[in-house]
Structure formats: C-alpha cells, structure tokens
C-alpha cells in the first residue's frame, strides 16, 4: 500500500492546501496523474464547490482530478484512476456515503492492490479500522463505525493537547483515554495540524512536526518529525 495521510488541509491564515503541496507532489511523483476525488464529507458547502477548489490545487501540481460524485458508475470510474483523493469534512457523512455508493470496498480493494491514497482529516479517519477517534459530531447515522482498515491504528486528526482556560469539558487527551479504556488493544496516533504520515509496506514516516502515540495504561509517547517506524507502531515505545 502507498498512503499519504494528512491531519488537515489548511493552516490558519494560509491559502487552501498550501502546506501539503510539496508532500503531495513528492508522493505522486513525476508524470501527470488522473485522480479520483471523494468529496462526500462536504456538508456546509456543495460537493461541486469542493471539487473546484481541489481541482485547482491539483491542476497547479500538474495533475487531472475528477470527482466521483458526478459519476453514474462510481466504482467503474475509480477503476480508471491512477490514485484516489479523499477530502476532509464530516467523517460520519463521508463514511455513510462511502457505504451507500459501494465505494468503501472498492477503494479498499484498489488501495490494497497498490493504488496511491491521499486523505486529509476525515479522509485520514476512514483509512483507519474505525472512525471512533474522529472529532466530528455524528450528524448522520452510519451503518457501522468500521472503516477501511488500510492502517492498523486509529488517527485523531487536528490533535491538540492544549487546554482552554475556563473550559469545563473534557480535553482531547481525556476523550481519547475514554476510547482506549473501552478499546484497550487499539493504538491512537494524534496528528497535529500541519503533520502527516507517508505509509507503505515497509513502514511509515512522520513529516511536518511531532505526533503523539497513545495506548491504554501507558504514558503517551511523543514522536519527533522525520521518525520512521513499523506500520503497526510496535517499535514506538
């Protein structure tokens, strides 16, 4: 497998998709690629609008991008693409639509056979075994919380260990500790803004900044930028 999993698309105060561009370009390599875009996580804006934004970015990088939401035969159209790009937004809406269009299985099968996969935010969440570590509100029902399982660990995108002064609710670490209390065999990767993972059969590499690895009953591990490790993170202790 060949995956590029990003915490987010855009840093505050910067143009859309500016920080990931060099990483995406290096990931896709030389030559013009035809990319299938999955915009199903869009809720407060239209999928057409989302597609135009992302098309502009990838055109500047020298690639052609088309959206699967406009295709009558979505699975067939995926089969004619060189790579798949899954955008962020609401993870529950994304997963529900992936199941409803039969694309979840189709993408998992193609990526397992070697198709490159790029995802950010919700698009990174659905690459995990489940979407149970998303930050999103469940605004729609999903058939199941199970996702693609392209990686064996859970991702919490937009991760922060910050605490808001005067805020009485749970912190992100407390919420993730709750998940781990009920899913004790799981490993969670906290991906901060501006960070991502390049994942292949030989392992994964962290870029953009440090990440945090959380496990039940263990002290969280801060992993520095540039670290290479096994895909199952068994060497991160």
- The C-alpha atoms of residue 41 and residue 88 are separated, in whole angstroms, by 6
Q: pLDDT tens, 4-19?
A: 999 999 999 999 999 9
- The C-alpha atoms of residue 36 and residue 74 are separated, in whole angstroms, by 10
Confidence of residue 162 (pLDDT cuts 50, 70, 90): confident
- The C-alpha atoms of residue 83 and residue 134 are separated, in whole angstroms, by 24
Indicate the domain borders of the chain.
2-229
pLDDT given at position 165:
74
Domain boundaries 2-229, corresponding CATH code: 3.40.50.880
pLDDT given at position 47:
98
pTM: 0.96
- The C-alpha atoms of residue 12 and residue 128 are separated, in whole angstroms, by 26
Q: pLDDT tens, 109-149?
A: 999 999 999 999 999 999 999 999 999 999 999 999 999 99
Q: pLDDT tens, 196-231?
A: 999 998 899 999 999 999 999 999 999 999 999 999
**Mind telling me the catalytic residues?**
121, 136, 158
Cβ neighbours for 236, distance < 8 A, ≥ 6 positions apart: 213, 221, 223, 227, 229
pLDDT given at position 161:
86
């Amino acid at each position: 497998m060949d995956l590029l999993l990003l915490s987010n698309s855009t840093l505050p105060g910067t143009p859309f998709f500016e920080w990931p561009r060099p990483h995406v370009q290096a990931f896709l390599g030389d030559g013009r690629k035809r990319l299938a875009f999955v915009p199903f996580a869009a809720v407060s804006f239209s999928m057409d609008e989302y597609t135009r934004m992302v098309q502009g970015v990838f055109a500047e990088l020298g690639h052609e991008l088309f959206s699967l939401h406009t295709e009558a035969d979505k699975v067939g159209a995926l089969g004619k693409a060189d790579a798949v790009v899954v955008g962020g937004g609401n993870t529950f809406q994304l997963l529900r639509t992936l199941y409803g269009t039969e694309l979840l299985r189709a993408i998992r099968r193609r990526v397992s056979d070697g198709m490159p996969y790029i995802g950010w935010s919700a698009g990174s969440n659905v690459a995990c075994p489940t979407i149970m570590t998303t930050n999103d509100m469940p605004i729609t029902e999903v058939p199941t919380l199970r996702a693609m399982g392209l990686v064996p660990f859970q991702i919490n995108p937009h991760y922060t260990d910050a605490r808001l002064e005067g805020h009485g609710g749970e912190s992100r670490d407390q919420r993730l500790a709750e998940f781990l209390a009920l899913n004790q065999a799981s490993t969670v990767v906290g991906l901060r803004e501006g960070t991502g993972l390049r994942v292949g059969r030989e392992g994964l590499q962290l870029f953009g900044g440090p990440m945090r690895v959380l496990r039940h009953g263990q002290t969280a591990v801060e992993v520095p930028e540039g670290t290479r490790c096994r895909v199952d993170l068994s060497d991160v202790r």
